Structure 1
């Protein structure tokens, strides 16, 4: 059976690498030095469904499909207290995050950016836009992408 936590940690690590910004699981990321919440921009990751049953009689639970919602949160410009987060910044973060499903430019199989989960391979990935903040007067603007990962045990 494929456990959920290693998948979640791998998704968080991949999004942090791709965006270059902090990522929090279901909550605002914390500064590791102070324990205080980090100001945006950052990404929030919410684990959604995790299905490990393929509905066959011979199912050995060696596969899973995991869904995640990533909320890309814009923030004020550092050093400019009157600034607001904006659509361009949240969309830039979402564009970086969407690289989760990027294929190699040379046409080779697989994905450009590895999703490293011990003993588990990811053979298919999906991403779809799920909306974001509508009110341009908000101090923080978001873009949302839902990811789906098709996983199988590798035995390694």
Structure 2
């Protein structure tokens, strides 16, 4: 059986790698050096569905489909009073996150960015863009992408 916890950690690391910005699971990411919340931009990662039934009579739960929501956050610059999140910032972050499903430019098999999950391989990825939201009260702009990962147990 494929561990959901290991998949979540791998997706969090992949988002961190492709965006170069902090990622928090279900909450604002905390800077370990200060113990305080990272200022935007950052990504919030929400684990959604995790299905382990491959719909066969001999199902041994050796496959899984995991769905995650990435909420990409743009916000005010803490060093500039009165600043606000910008569309440009959240679109830049979204473009970076979307590269999770990018294939290698030279036509090689697989994906541009590896998703390293102990005991599992990812053979297919999908991204569905849900859209943007904003909150004028706190100057935050967010954009949501849902990622679906098709996984198989590593031999």
Q: Pick the TM interval, shorter chain.
A: over 0.9
1:151: Cα distance to partner? 0.2
Is structure 2 residue 122 aligned with structure 1 residue 133?
Answer: no
Residue 11 of structure 1 corresponds to which residue in structure 2? Answer: 11
Q: Deviations over 1:49-91 (max 9, x none)?
A: 0000012211110000000000000022352111100111111
Residue 64 of structure 1 corresponds to which residue in structure 2? Answer: 64
Residue 50 of structure 2 corresponds to which residue in structure 1? Answer: 50
Instruction: Give, in whole Å, the separation in 1 of the partners of 2:28 and 2:136.
Output: 21
Residue 23 of structure 1 corresponds to which residue in structure 2? Answer: 23
Instruction: Give, in whole Å, the separation in 2 of the partners of 1:19 and 1:78.
Output: 20
Local SS of the residue matching 2:92: helix
Instruction: Give, in whole Å, the separation in 2 of the partners of 1:94 and 1:105.
Output: 19
Local SS of the residue matching 1:141: strand
Residue 119 of structure 1 corresponds to which residue in structure 2? Answer: 119
Instruction: Give, in whole Å, the separation in 2 of the partners of 1:136 and 1:128.
Output: 25
8 Å CA contact retained: 2:134, 2:140 = no
Q: Deviations over 1:127-149 (max 9, x none)?
A: 01012214567501001100000
Local SS of the residue matching 1:56: coil
Local SS of the residue matching 1:85: coil
TM-score (norm. length: structure 1): 0.95
Instruction: Give, in whole Å, the separation in 2 of the partners of 1:78 and 1:9.
Output: 28
Stretches of structure 2 that go unaligned for 5 or more consecutive residues are none
Instruction: Give, in whole Å, the separation in 2 of the partners of 1:78 and 1:134.
Output: 18
Moved more, 121-130 or 137-146: 137-146
Q: What are the equivalent positions in structure 2 for 1:86-125 lying under 5 Å apart?
A: 86-125=86-125
Stretches of structure 1 that go unaligned for 5 or more consecutive residues are none
Which has a greater percent of strand? 2
Instruction: Give, in whole Å, the separation in 2 of the partners of 1:24 and 1:135.
Output: 20
